[in-house]
Every structure is written in C-alpha cells, then in structure tokens.
Amino acid sequence: MSCLQLSVPPLAASRSKRATIRCASDRQELFNRIAPVYDNLNDLLSLGQHRIWKRMAVSWSGAKPGDSLLDLCCGSGDLTFLMSEKAGERGKVIGLDFSKEQLSIASSRQYMLSKGCYNNIEWVEGDALDLPFSNGYFDAITMGYGLRNVVDKRRAMQEMFRVLKPGSRVSILDFNKTVQPLTAFFQEWVIDNVVVPTATVYGLAKEYQYLKSSIDEFLTGKELEKLALDAGFSYAIHYEIGGGLMGNLVATR
C-alpha cells in the first residue's frame, strides 16, 4: 500500500523550488480543523446524496482503465477512491491537498479499505495554484468542493489546463451559485437552519458559517464556463444538479 506523500513527486523535480504551499493559511487551518468529522458531516448534511454527485463528477471526467489521474483538493479521498476504481491496477491516481490532516485521514482510509486497485493511489501535499507536475501529464482531473476555496480561481484553472493532456477533461463539483431566487433562498435556509446547527453539535459552527459567504463570492455556472474558456479550454459546460443546489463544470482541453 502506498504511504502518505508529503513531498514533491519525482516527476516534478524541475518545479520543486516553486512547489511550496501558498494558499491562504486561514483556509488551510480551517480544513485541518474539520478533517476529523468531515466525512460524517457530509453524509448527514446531504443525506448521503454527495456520494451520487461525486460519482457523476467522476463519470464526467472521462477517466478510464490505465489512465494517469489527478484528484485535486482531494480532502479525505472520496473522489480519489472513485478515480482509482476507474483507473484500475494499470493506472495511476494522485490525490493532492494542502491539508496534512485531510491527507492523513485519506491515507488511513486507503489502508482500511484495502481494495486492490487502491494501491495505485499516491497522496501528495501541494498547492492547487502551483501544481508539482509536468505539462500534459494527466488523462483526467477531478476537483470536489475545492475551486470555491482557492484564493486565485483563474490561476487554479490555468494550472489544471497545463497538466492535462490535449483532449482530456476536468470535472469540477461544487456548490452552485444559482441565479434563481427561489433556489438561492432555499440554499441559504438550508445553510442557516441545517448546516450550521448540525456543525454546532461537533463544535464547528464558526468553521461552517463561512459556507454562505463562500457561495456568495463564488462564480455562477456561466461565469465558470467563461473562466475555463479563458484559461484555454476548448469547450466548457456547467451542469446544475441536486435540485440546483450543486453544480458540476466539465471542461475539455
């Protein structure tokens, strides 16, 4: 079983001097704090629906057996494990995150699940704004609930474009910044009356109160499509899922 990797992979030796973690320290600390209960909260708050949305995201990535795959902002590894199942034992999957605590949990889950294909996973601590990989290295990329939290979304999209092979896809799952007033009202109600109170039980009310503002500051589906096209992608489409509460951007290099 591959162990937790906290250093720059060999393939990135030429970029090692630039592979330092430069994401906002407060966001990094936030995800370190919520790491121990992150999976339980996801299940409770979405009634398990997040697992369906993540499978959809992986399907849209176009990942297939033998591929080299990247799960960016991988957290505790849900998408990474799904990508691993797609790549199979002949493939390779890298789960990258800036939170050591999240990566430690992901590595522990890899060991406990003990599924054959999961041997193809390597965990890397790194920066989404300065990926420690060579140009055109990956056959597909997923990113779950990460783009909304990076400090420079344009740079993150450019980095994903850089490390993807021509014709390959990135699939980005996140909360949807809806333009529909009724959906927006319901989304805010859920955060105020379900998400934060539930997080309070775990002593994480302050950590989850940021969610509403992070969605308000996020991009709409059309704006995400434009972001991808401006970064160089040839095609981009944003799907609203989960009754419009979630969204998934699919962009082709």
Average pLDDT on 79-99 reads 95
CA distances from 8 to 16, 79, 110, 111 (A): 6, 21, 20, 22
pLDDT digits (tens, 9 = 90+) for 199-234: 787 777 776 777 778 888 899 999 999 999 999 999
Out of 21-35, 38-52, 183-197, pick the least confident.
Answer: 21-35
Q: What angle do CA 181, 182, 187 make, to 5 degrees?
A: 95
**Residue 158, pLDDT above cutoff 80:** yes
More confident residue, 15 or 217: 217
* Rounded-to-integer distance, Cα 25 and Cα 32, Å: 10
Q: Is the dihedral of CA 105, 111, 112, 115 positive or negative?
A: positive
CB-neighbour burial class of residue 73 (10 A; exposed 0-12, middle 13-18, buried 19+): buried
Average pLDDT on 136-145 reads 97
Please, are residues 92 and 83 in contact by the beta-carbon 8 Å criterion? no
* Rounded-to-integer distance, Cα 117 and Cα 1, Å: 10
Q: Is the dihedral of CA 30, 39, 128, 116 positive or negative?
A: positive
**Residue 21, pLDDT above cutoff 60:** no
Confidence of residue 27 (pLDDT cuts 50, 70, 90): low
Out of 48-52, 125-129, 243-247, pick the least confident.
Answer: 48-52
* Rounded-to-integer distance, Cα 15 and Cα 207, Å: 33
**Residue 24, pLDDT above cutoff 60:** no
**Which pLDDT score is estimated for 235?**
98
Average pLDDT along the chain: 84
Strand arrangement, sheet containing 4-5: 4-5, 121-125, 92-97, 68-72, 138-144, 164-175, 246-252, 235-241
More confident residue, 196 or 74: 74
**Residue 3, pLDDT above cutoff 50:** no
- The three-class DSSP label of residue 232 is coil
Bridge partner residues of 138 (DSSP): 164
Q: What percent of the chain has pLDDT over 70?
A: 81
Residue carrying structure tokens 């499509």: 225
Confidence of residue 31 (pLDDT cuts 50, 70, 90): low
CA 101 to chain centre: 15
CA distances from 101 to 112, 126, 148, 188 (A): 17, 13, 20, 29
* Rounded-to-integer distance, Cα 52 and Cα 13, Å: 37
